[in-house]
Structure 1
Amino acid sequence: MAKTREQDVVDLLLEQHEQIRGLLTRLKGATAGPAKRAMFEDLVRLLAVHETAEEEILHPIARRELLDGERVVSGRLHEEAEAKRALAELYELGVDHPRFDVKLAALAEAVTAHASQEETEEFARLRRELPADRLRRMAGAVRTAEAVAPTRPHPAVGESAVVNLLAGPPVALFDRIRGAIRDWSRAQRR
């Protein structure tokens, strides 16, 4: 039996990028209502934990290890900050707002371009320049970071790994409590 390769950080993040692209596509075609709201909440949660983990684990290593890592990472952080602001604005508007779909389309375009840039520039170089065992260990670190990451965007927190490490767990706890209360409240209305 052939041994399958253990998932590394690039595999993990590429898989998440595909999930994000899929959610964006389904969300753009969804009609207003509870199903669209649930899909959007899934997107918000996935993007929030994904970007936080990249900011805490991936970007600091890319910044240190890649020849021009500072340039590569600063471009991605700027894009991520813009996406957080747009996602937070969409979150506040809600899926039933008349401008939601237009703003979602703009976000989808920006997020897709950002993911493609990460994949071709940052991910490909990390895979070429770092040992495979280190990339596999990084996948574990990303999973751990995602487990304690905020579940919605907090643009005021910033993109710093240190700030995310300090502010992330308390904000994540607040987000999870808020989500549980929201879910309980919805269930009570049925």
Structure 2
Amino acid sequence: MTATKTKSPKTASAKTAAHKTTAKPASKRSTVVHDDAIKLLVADHKEVKALFKDYEKLVKDEADGDERQALAQKICLLLTVHATIEEEIFYPAARAAIEDGDLLDEAEVEHASAKDLIAQIEGMSPDEELYDAKVKVLGEYIEHHVKEEETELFPEVKKSDVDLAELGADLVSRKETLLAELGEDALA
């Protein structure tokens, strides 16, 4: 079972219009075909990293609050969906396949910290004190988390007998469902 999404021209133009301050498109999520779970998760990591860079540029350029908030909301949505698919599907499969449960325990604690910061950001106005700082710190949390996953956890899972193609298909399916439920329109 392969489930991929195609980007509609309307979505692509809306993203371009919404982020005129960026030099390159921030997302290739919808057009990339992922043939395994780890490739999907790494692609998500790259997408969010690019969005955090776009956010830093908006802050540097003193963009208005609405533009910063729209991008912060997109980052928060993508991180929420990503954390959910990892926690519901990837982490349990990894926990069953590898011996180092400490890696997964740490990842879950890092998710909890990120979710707390996401909730704070989502509950704020972009013009409130510390808004930009919280988005920046969230980016730093995520950067640390991604580094550990990509250098420690993912190599362990790759060495295991986990069927990464099947796991990837499950992740894609759940991700699409969550995006539909949580409002993929927020990504446009």
**TM-score of the alignment, normalized to the shorter chain, above 0.5:** yes
1:148 and 2:180 are equivalent in the alignment = no
1:74 and 2:102 are equivalent in the alignment = no
C-alpha spacing 1:75/1:6, structure 2 compared with 1 (3 Å): closer
Q: What is residue 78 of structure 2 aligned with on the other side?
A: 46
Q: Is the 8 A contact 1:28 1:104 kept in 2?
A: no
Q: What value does the CA root-mean-square deviation take over the aligned residues?
A: 2.1
Q: Is the 8 A contact 1:63 1:72 kept in 2?
A: no
Give the aligned length.
150
Encode CA deviations 1:20-49: one digit per residue, 9 max, x unaligned. 101111112212333222211211111111
Normalised by the length of structure 1, the TM-score is: 0.72
Q: Which moved more, 1:34-43 or 1:139-148?
A: 34-43
Q: What is residue 38 of structure 2 aligned with on the other side?
A: 10
Alpha-carbon distance between aligned partners in 1 of 2:132 and 2:46, rounded to the nearest angstrom: 21
- Report the CA distance between 1:53 and its aligned residue: 0.2
Alpha-carbon distance between aligned partners in 2 of 1:64 and 1:145, rounded to the nearest angstrom: 20
Q: What is residue 163 of structure 1 aligned with on the other side?
A: none
Q: Is the 8 A contact 1:56 1:145 kept in 2?
A: no
SS of 1:93's partner is: coil
The equivalent position to 1:21 in structure 2, one of 49, 52, 57, is: 49
Q: What is residue 128 of structure 1 aligned with on the other side?
A: 159
Gaps of 5+ in 2: 1-32
The equivalent position to 2:69 in structure 1, one of 31, 34, 37, is: 37
Listed as ranges, the matches of 1:166-181 within 5 Å are 173=181, 175-176=182-183
- Report the CA distance between 1:148 and its aligned residue: 2.8
- Report the CA distance between 1:6 and its aligned residue: 6.1
Q: What is residue 168 of structure 2 aligned with on the other side?
A: 139
Gaps of 5+ in 1: 152-171, 184-190
Alpha-carbon distance between aligned partners in 2 of 1:6 and 1:29, rounded to the nearest angstrom: 29
Listed as ranges, the matches of 1:47-62 within 5 Å are 47-62=79-94
C-alpha spacing 1:85/1:6, structure 2 compared with 1 (3 Å): closer
Identity, in percent, stands at 25
Listed as ranges, the matches of 1:74-113 within 5 Å are 74-113=105-144
Q: Is the 8 A contact 1:62 1:126 kept in 2?
A: yes
Alpha-carbon distance between aligned partners in 1 of 2:126 and 2:65, rounded to the nearest angstrom: 8
Moved beyond 3 Å, runs of 4+: none
Encode CA deviations 1:84-120: one digit per residue, 9 max, x unaligned. 0001101111322221111111111111000110111
